[in-house]
Every structure is written in C-alpha cells, then in structure tokens.
Structure 1
C-alpha cells in the first residue's frame, strides 16, 4: 500500500500532517504556517515565520530576468498554458540565476569545515582567505558575493541580516560569510560585497536549514512573480518585441 506522511484523504476528509485541511487549516492558518507544516513537519514560531516570509518576499521578482523572459516567451508560443510558462521560468533556476542560494549555502558550509571547532575571528578570517585564494587560483566564482549593480553593498543583504539578528538567526555562518566578502574585497582591490544570495545562504545555515530548503523557498517565492509576468504579458505583451530584437540582431 502506498502512502505519504505529508497527507492524504478519503471521501469526507483531507489530512495534512495529521491536521484536517478544512477544520484545522483553512481560515485558521496562513500559507507560511502550512508551508512549514508540510515541508518541516510543524508550524513555525514567530521568528521562523518572519524569516521565511523575508525569504519569499526577497525572491518574488527581480524584473525582466532570464526566468521572467523564459516565462513570457513560452507564453507567447503557448498562450493557453499558464502552467507551462511558469514552469519554463522555474526550470532555469541554477548556479547562475535564481537557484544560487543553494550553492552559496553549500560553499559556505564547505568553508565552515575549514574553520573547525574554534570559531574565533582569527580562524574565520584564515579560512575565508584560503577559500578566496583557492577560488581565484581555479578561476571559479564565489557564490554569494559581488553584484553588478549594487557594487557598494546590496540593500537587500543589509535588511536580511538586520531581521536575522532580531530573530536570533545571525550566527557564525553570517559572520563567516562577511569574512569571505571582506577577503574577496582585499584580494580584488575593489568592493566585493556580500549579496542577498550570500546573506540568505548564511542565514539558512544559522537557522539549521538545508540548502535545498533555501532553494525551495526561492522557487516558491518566484512563482508569484512569474504569474504576475504572465498576466502582464497577456495585457501588455512584449515577447514578440523580444523575438524581433533577436531576429534583427541575427540579420546584422
């Protein structure tokens, strides 16, 4: 017999983690409550709920990004398929765009192992310097630092760390992430600030959450933005203009 601990139902009831969907959850709990119940197995306290809400809001939309363009162009080809257009935008979440919080958290966790058991400022700085040196030697980009627009500092990062501190989630991983950004700045000779992805990856680890959970929250948040792009594309289409621009470039 196949079953799932997440939920199930019969002719009269729908259950989610043992709670009745109609009697216990609908009009009783909000979406973040149910999200945590489903994924983490329990309802969040006030601090966890506030932090998860910050993650969702931060990732909701960044304008005409590759994910939004994918959604709009897919809708242009299949205007009947809202779900296909949204899925197209989500499918591009990876190491460069949208899915970067997972890779930032994984990188940071790896540097944390180099710190060892003694999380002094000296040990964190040494581990950060070594990590930056390895990345520069290999020509690999460090996820979670630097930004093409917010070159002096990502305003989202500042707010995320402030709220994390208020919620009790700004711990040693947040400190280490800032040491990595400082080491990268020294090595590059120019500002290489921590960005929103780096802040979220660090906070995620200080919350005791997995990198996959962080990526999942990013995807959930971005769906709202992609649905908005679908609606705007139907009302004020630009996909044909994007295609025309690409065609004009290819004919030069």
Structure 2
C-alpha cells in the first residue's frame, strides 16, 4: 500500500504514517493527532492513498521528546521537561540537589540560574516604580478581609495593565518581565515593618511583609531556603495550568494568573495553612496526641504528612527542618511537629512533607496562617516562568488533549 512505503517529493525525504509513528514511538492515530495540534504537517500526493510527513520535521519532534500516547487517565499525561527531577529521596533542579542550592544561594540567584543557566552572585530583582505603583493602588482598593492570594492575583493583573509590551514573548523580554514582576508581587503586599534596603535579598523584603517580628540571620536563611526549595516541583497542578496557558501563547502575566488560580486550594498552595493551624493547636493544648486523635476521629487527613512522590520524608522538609534547628524561637514548633509525626506513625506510616516544615517556620516567626501560602506562591513564580520559557519553545497549542465524549449519542430531540 502507498501508506506503507517510503516516498519522496521535491521537499525532500518523506515518511509514511507508519514510519512516522515508528520513529515517534506512538500509534498511527497519534500521528494524526499531532497534525491536528499543529505539531506536524501532512501532505497527500496526487493519486496517493495515504499521508506523508517530512522526515526532518518528524525527527525534530522526536528530539523534543513530544512523543506520548493519548491516555484515558490524566495521571498518565507526560511532558518532557529539563527543569526538575524527583528521584525518591531527592529533588533536583537541572541535575543539582535542591537542598544544596537552598543552603548556598539566594532565591534570586537560583531563579536566574534556572532561567538562563548562568549563576550571578548578588543578583537582585527590582520592581519598576510605575508597575509597582499600579499594583499597590489596585491591592489597596481590596476589602480589608482580602487574603494574600487575592492581593497577589490582583497585583499580577494590575502589573499586566501597566505593561503595554507584555505580549512580547521573546526570551529576553520574558526574563525582564519576570525579574520585575516577582519583586512587584512582594512589594504589593502590606508592609508589617519598614522596608529593608533594595539591595537586600528578596527573602528579607518578603519577611517584612509577613510578620512584625524582627528577623535574624538564621530565620532569614530558613525563609530564603524555603523560597528556593519551593521554586518548582515537576508538573504540579499549577505548573500544568501554566504550561497550558503558555502553549496558547499567553503572556507571562497571564500564565502567572493561571498558576495562581490552580494554586488557590487546600490540596495545593494552601496546604501549609492547615499544617500551621494544627501546630498552633498542638502548642495551645500541649498534646500532639489529642490533636491527631481529633483528626483521625473526624476522618481528616493529618496536615503536613505524606507525599505521593516520596516513599519517605520529603527531602525539602528534611532540608528546611535542618535549617530551623538553628533558629532558637523555632524549637517549640519543631518539637510539636516531631510529636505529630511520631504520634501518627503509631497508626500509619506517613512522613513529613514540606508543608509541615513550612508551618514550623511560619508559626515560630509569628506569621499569620496564610503566610505559608504566600511563601509558596512567591517562590513558585520563578518555576512557572522557567516552564513557560520551555513551553514557548514548543509548537503552539500542543497542550490540547482530546475529550472522550460519553454523553447521549446524536441525533437527540431539541430541548
């Protein structure tokens, strides 16, 4: 058959559907799905009975690692990325252990390295005055009961409106936007203490937005480490939302809005707040056993324990716990967290995740219950930008799965 034989035309070597499928490691039907998503172009020769595909285009698609079969289970969706590797007891950014990065570098230094591959010691991100002013005015107009996620979401929208060049998706333009937007988000949050000098690292500026308590070197180091550790964690729900938006060529502000939308929930960004409340209750009642018993009796999950990607302790939690050991005011919260872990272990084998470690930090620093979510959201913006940069380099609209219709079969009568 014509579709089973290799053919040639004036454009160069052509592959049949079967050959293209073999090269990509997918089924023939998937090849046509790539065509519908704009990832491949097909050509039907006059009189031919099958489509042919440019061999170079197929090879390029294979090199990008875009091969995957459509799946009936969303959990089987796979997207190749060079940003984060999760390997049982470790988490790596571009092959480097995140715990080592968090111990040695500032958040801005790691973010810049993640985006560009270059490490610049002393890197500082600065918010443009006009963009920061627009974000602050918008945030100040919110009702008093508005939470930090409300403020961050609105700050992104206001910053976008103040940037007429936001649709420039060139790599350098996206990087300039990211370097300006992250400190804008922090600067738009209500200040609890006077702002530190602009030469200070982002962690210091964020601390002044989270608590009126004075800082110290060990506490600030722990907050900076938390920011680094939370930059990315593979294709979490918010990151997938970001990549879908970037696939549609949304500008950086819009992709952050997509990420914040997915982040704003108890199963993702707000999980640390549940752990914060639990630790406060343990400290108030003086017993982890009583608090854990209440959760178990009510059929609730114990906050801050267990992670589907790690069989043991979350390595991010391990790294942050280690740094909190050097913070004197964190010792009571650390002890409460340990009691929760050991008490729960009598019933089920669950290990600490990063939300519990982040809760120890926020409780010990006198931060509000939403502070962990704020740290998570600010930190993750750098990872979202890294994923957007990757996705901007892929064919547009490739993140378009096919729906499996299970409704009434047509024709149906008019309602």
Matched, 1:25 2:202: no
Counterpart of 2:269? 98
Bigger RCO (CA 8 Å, 6+ sep): 1
Q: Does structure 2 retain, via aligned residues, the 8 Å contact 1:99–1:215?
A: yes
Offset at 1:238?
8.4
Distance 1:181 1:18 in 2: 37
Counterpart of 1:173? 333
Partner SS state of residue 166, structure 1: coil
Counterpart of 1:182? 342
Task: Could you tell me which runs of 5 or more consecutive residues in structure 1 were left unpaired when the two chains were aligned.
Answer: 5-14, 116-126
Q: Does structure 1 retain, via aligned residues, the 8 Å contact 2:210–2:367?
A: no
Matched, 1:70 2:257: no
Partner SS state of residue 221, structure 1: helix
1:112-151 correspondence runs (5 A): 112-115=283-286, 127-151=287-311
Task: Could you tell me which runs of 5 or more consecutive residues in structure 2 were left unpaired when the two chains were aligned.
Answer: 1-136, 141-186, 407-415
Instruction: Give the one of 206, 214, 226 matched to 2:384.
Output: 226
Partner SS state of residue 222, structure 1: helix
Relative to 1, partners in 2 of residues 1:70 and 1:55: Cα closer, same or farther, differing over 3 Å?
A: same
**Structure number having the greater helix percentage:** 1
Relative to 1, partners in 2 of residues 1:178 and 1:250: Cα closer, same or farther, differing over 3 Å?
A: farther
Counterpart of 1:82? 252
Offset at 1:132?
2.3
* 1:151-185 deviation digits (Å, cap 9, x = unpaired): 22222222111111123344112111121121211
Q: Does structure 1 retain, via aligned residues, the 8 Å contact 2:304–2:353?
A: yes
Equivalent residue pairs, number: 217
Q: Does structure 2 retain, via aligned residues, the 8 Å contact 1:34–1:43?
A: no
Distance 2:194 2:358 in 1: 31
Instruction: Give the one of 359, 365, 368 matched to 1:207.
Output: 365
Q: Does structure 2 retain, via aligned residues, the 8 Å contact 1:233–1:239?
A: no
Relative to 1, partners in 2 of residues 1:163 and 1:243: Cα closer, same or farther, differing over 3 Å?
A: same
Relative to 1, partners in 2 of residues 1:38 and 1:111: Cα closer, same or farther, differing over 3 Å?
A: closer
Partner SS state of residue 142, structure 1: coil
Counterpart of 1:7? none
The normalised TM-score by structure 1 is: 0.75
* 1:192-223 deviation digits (Å, cap 9, x = unpaired): 11211111112321222222222211111011
More displaced 10-residue stretch of structure 1: 32-41 or 210-219: 32-41
Matched, 1:163 2:320: no
Distance 1:43 1:169 in 2: 12
Instruction: Give the one of 179, 183, 205 matched to 1:34.
Output: 205
